[in-house]
Amino acid sequence: MQIAERAVVSIHYKLTDDAGEVLDSSEGGEPLTYLQGAGNIIPGLEKALVGKQTGDRLDVRVEPSEGYGDHDQSLIQQVPRRAFQGVKDVKAGMRFQTQGPNGPTSVVITRVAGDMVTIDGNHPLAGQHLNFAVEIADVREASAEELEHGHVHGPGGHHH
């Protein structure tokens, strides 16, 4: 069966940046299983897998706009240190969940200077090319329940 919308796909992958550093991998573990066409993985990778089948191997380079987006300067803000009440030692590298206009957002502190803290709401991989080495482990039809819920159930997927 070929990968098409409404298929359940299992892949092994290795994700590297342009310097060749491994950012994520399924090596030594279970494959990533997702529902094709449901937005469960980044768009650039999902598009590249259409038409492939079990056993296929491919290398995919995903542009930032088809991955985690371009780096958005407007997502970098300075906030007063008092916004972190209850946090004893505020320092660069700390991650927090905040409530943004579109729901919960993850931010990282990039700088602390006096009473001001710089936070960045960009995804850590925003603005980066993503290089995937992929092997298709399995392709099957999605069940009616998986299609209704928009995600995979059972092994490699969601359990209710």
CATH of the domain at 22: 3.10.50.40
Q: Find the domain containing 87 and state its range.
A: 73-120
Closest C-alpha to 50, from 100, 79, 11, 98: 11
Query: According to the model, what pLDDT value does residue 35 have?
Result: 95
Residues 16 and 61 in one domain: yes
Residues 48 and 93 in one domain: no
Residues 57 and 130 in one domain: yes
Residues 107 and 88 in one domain: yes
Q: Is position 85 within any domain? A: yes
Q: Which residues contact 104 (CB under 8 A, 6 or more apart)?
A: 97, 98
pLDDT above 80: residue 159:
no
Q: Is position 30 within any domain? A: yes
Is the distance from CB of 12 to CB of 132 less than 8 angstroms? no
Q: Is position 99 within any domain? A: yes
Query: According to the model, what pLDDT value does residue 160 have?
Result: 53
Q: Do strands 7-16 and 22-25 pair parallel, antiparallel, or not at all (unpaired)?
A: antiparallel
Q: Is position 1 within any domain? A: no
Query: According to the model, what pLDDT value does residue 141 have?
Result: 95
Q: How many domains does the chain have?
A: 2
Q: Is position 2 within any domain? A: no
Query: According to the model, what pLDDT value does residue 158 have?
Result: 60
**How many other CB atoms are there within 10 angstroms of residue 83's CB atom?**
12
Query: According to the model, what pLDDT value does residue 157 have?
Result: 62
In this structure, what token pair is assigned to residue 27? 């090596």
Q: Is position 156 within any domain? A: no
Query: What's the pLDDT tens digit per position in 53-65?
Result: 999 999 999 999 9
Q: Is position 160 within any domain? A: no
**Would the pTM count as exceeding 0.85?**
no
Query: What's the pLDDT tens digit per position in 18-41?
Result: 999 999 999 999 999 999 999 999
